[in-house]
Amino acid sequence: MKTFSSEALRNVAFIGHGTTGKTSLVSAVLFNTKMINRLAKVDQGNTVTDFDEDEIEKKISIQAAVAYAHIDKYKINIIDTPGFANFVWEARVALRAVETGVMLVSATEGVEVQTEKIFERVAELNKPLIFIINKMTKELADFDNAYNSIVETFGKDAIAVQYPLGKGTDFTGIVDLIEMKAYKYGGDEKGDFEETEISGDIRDKCQSKREELIEKIAENDEQLMEKYFEEGDLSPEDITAGLKTGIVNRNIFPVLVTDALSNIGVNHLIDFIIKYTPSIIDTGEIAAVEGSVKPDKSAPFSGLVFKTISDPFTGKISLVKVISGVFKPDSSYFNSNKSAAERVGGLFFLQGKEQSSAGEVFPGDIVAVAKLKETQTGDTLTTKGNDIKFPKIVFPIPSISFAIEPKTREDENKISVAFQKICEEDPTVKSVRDPRTKELVISGNGQLHVELVVNKLKKKYGVDVEMKPPKVPYLETIKGNADVEMKHKKQTGGRGQYAHVLIKLEAMPRGSDFVFESTIFGGSIPKNYIPAVEKGIRESKDNGILAGYPVVDFKVNLYDGSYHDVDSSDMAFKIASSKAFKQAMQEAKPTILEPIMKVEVVTPEEYMGDINGNLSGRRGKIQGMETKGKNNIIRALVPMVEMLDFDPTLTSITGGRGSYFMEFIHYEEVPAHLQTKVIENAKKEGRIREEEE
């Protein structure tokens, strides 16, 4: 396959709320650039980037997928991302691999919940962003309303560079406000267009919007501002240079208009991406953990592994964004996170799930490599002796857990290998064996997320399991301090057991987890036994004394003790410290913590009162409310346990017109009157035994 220079590469992630048409727009771009021979559609289940069985069945994107388009000497790498809350982390990760975010907004709905969430992520990464108002042929499509919602939400840096010709079924093309020319599309899905007149009813509006655009371009450059004041306009060259600079510096968020399904405006979008979005060269040096890396092909190779795919034929596939140097096939590289050598065989590009062989790859390109042994998502690949590390990818903490039970012994035997592959592919999935209940617990970003993992277990790995009710990941902690002495002494003939420890247990601030320190002085306990003391406490803290949940936010100081020359051992000190910890917990005012979720509910105004009341009844603390277009947003903090059945309740209250977003925010103490219920449930689950109370 042809090799592209860094200057000719454009990397964009199509992002936005669910159902804004991202996958359809990717299909239109691929069709118009002759990468595919027909305009594929989500409803027909034949799109390039929604190829997973569950995606085709549910008609939504579940995972980020890579595609590419060739246009003359340019190549556009596109990452199509999910927009639904359970999977939106894929969009956040994809943004690490691109220079520009392309945010789709529905022409009927305007700015929605995930639009704002993803915009925040783009801002955190300091990436350029362009907006596209899509779905312009929908019956209630309204460019002006959607555009105003963008400006109201994100400010006046969002500025129109195009205006629609008509709306709804009358939407036929665009006005390019930069050139002040109108283009009418053929309407036969081919994407062909021709120049036409700007009709009188929108000419004044278009002229006004063009003046706003030119002023915006000029205000970001003193020389252009002076020229604009003197001449009342800017030359095409000044506009092009000023607009690109404004986009790269995040001073301008251009707003374009398309309808992906009827292929209107898509060719102009392609041209805009090539002409105005930056290559990796335009963005300057890339931040590393220490210092920065210049995206130069003559520099040592470095690349970020931003996604892992488990392919049924190829096996493990790692997607790499090349940052510097030249990535060559059949070469040896170094994983600087794992301090491990990796042998790279062939390199290939992904067009959805289809693979095409790649040769050498330059900075800015996105390429795939198979069967890396040690490398995981978020790792940095480089050359031996070149200690580059890019910042880690931070994944969301799972918000819901279910116990699962394999249906047969054969399923039990296969499940660990299947989960290993699933967790490599989706780092937000967690799988652990509960040490008390012996249940296998799977955690994810929502019920749909976990259900799809269970589907994947069956369809992809042949493992059939049953899901049990969701588990709430309670924790235990202490509110006070304790000072405990514990002597473990056992004599049964022959060598006995002896260990004597004195520990102080102290409460720590929330989020501190666990700190162990030894202030032993004078050799009262030999140094070689101190790791055993810490190990005994670490193992004991996994099962708290109230309800068997892990203990957090405490400090243990081993400050004194004694030993026996013959009878002392690692095991004896481990047992003594475990007993000491449990006794100290009893004395240090133990309590139970519960996860608190940040909840945002989007609802039509007529249901506000009912939803506010429902959230309050769930021990929710309302944090604020605001109006966004036709909907209202309620923000609240609610205990996770109270949100487990919220989905069907919201559907019932709003008749399916409401939606919500939920993410873990922090832990808080369970009210005293509810702790008894948590403890009783823990007994029923077998998490605690009567003799341990």
Pair 607, 639 in one domain:
yes
Choose among 477, 466, 470, 680: nearest CA to 591: 477
Looking at the chain, the whole-number percentage of residues with pLDDT higher than 90 is 75
Angstrom distance (rounded) from CA 155 to CA 162 = 18
Average pLDDT over residues 640-661: 85
Identify the H or E element spanning 363. Answer: none
Look at residues 439, 471, 503 and tell me which one is the last residue of a structural domain. 471
Dihedrals φ, ψ of 501, to 5°? Answer: -130, 150
Does residue 214 lie within any of the structural domains? Answer: no
Pair 374, 455 in one domain:
no
Concatenate the DSSP letters of all residues of 485-550 into one string. EEEEEE-SSSS-EEEEEEEEEEE--TT--EEEEE---SSSS-GGGHHHHHHHHHHHHTS-TTTSPP
Q: How far are the Cα atoms of 114, 426, 597, 656, 669 from residue 660, in angstroms, in the given order?
A: 10, 23, 12, 11, 25
Domain range holding 262?
9-207+250-276
CATH code where residue 415 lies: 3.30.70.870
Pair 412, 524 in one domain:
no
pLDDT at 397: 78
Using an 8 Å Cβ cutoff, are 14 and 79 in contact? yes
Query: Is residue 273 very low, low, confident or very high in pLDDT (cuts 50, 70, 90)?
Result: very high
Q: pLDDT tens digits for 189-231?
A: 888 999 999 998 899 999 999 999 999 999 988 899 999 888 8
Residue 663 pLDDT more than 90?
Answer: no
Pair 272, 336 in one domain:
no
CATH code where residue 481 lies: 3.30.230.10
Angstrom distance (rounded) from CA 599 to CA 634 = 8
Pair 508, 569 in one domain:
yes
Average pLDDT over residues 64-78: 97
Angstrom distance (rounded) from CA 374 to CA 376 = 7
Reduce the DSSP state of residue 466 to 3 states and report it.
strand
The average confidence (pLDDT) of the chain is: 92
Pair 357, 449 in one domain:
no
Query: Is residue 255 very low, low, confident or very high in pLDDT (cuts 50, 70, 90)?
Result: very high
CATH code where residue 124 lies: 3.40.50.300
Pair 483, 371 in one domain:
no
Q: How far are the Cα atoms of 79, 271, 338 from residue 387, in angstroms, in the given order?
A: 28, 39, 11
Pair 609, 578 in one domain:
no
pLDDT at 230: 87
Query: Is residue 692 very low, low, confident or very high in pLDDT (cuts 50, 70, 90)?
Result: very low
Query: Is residue 629 very low, low, confident or very high in pLDDT (cuts 50, 70, 90)?
Result: low
Pair 494, 641 in one domain:
no
Pair 74, 49 in one domain:
yes
Task: Pull the structure tokens for residue 159.
Answer: 């500025």
pLDDT at 23: 97
Choose among 319, 333, 344: nearest CA to 386: 333
DSSP strand pairing (302-311 vs 315-324): antiparallel
Pair 447, 570 in one domain:
no
Residue 628 pLDDT more than 80?
Answer: no
What's the number of domains the chain is made of?
5
pLDDT at 76: 98
Task: Pull the structure tokens for residue 442.
Answer: 């799977």
Pair 564, 635 in one domain:
no
Which positions ≥6 away from 632 have C-beta within 8 Å?
602, 603, 604, 605, 608, 625, 626
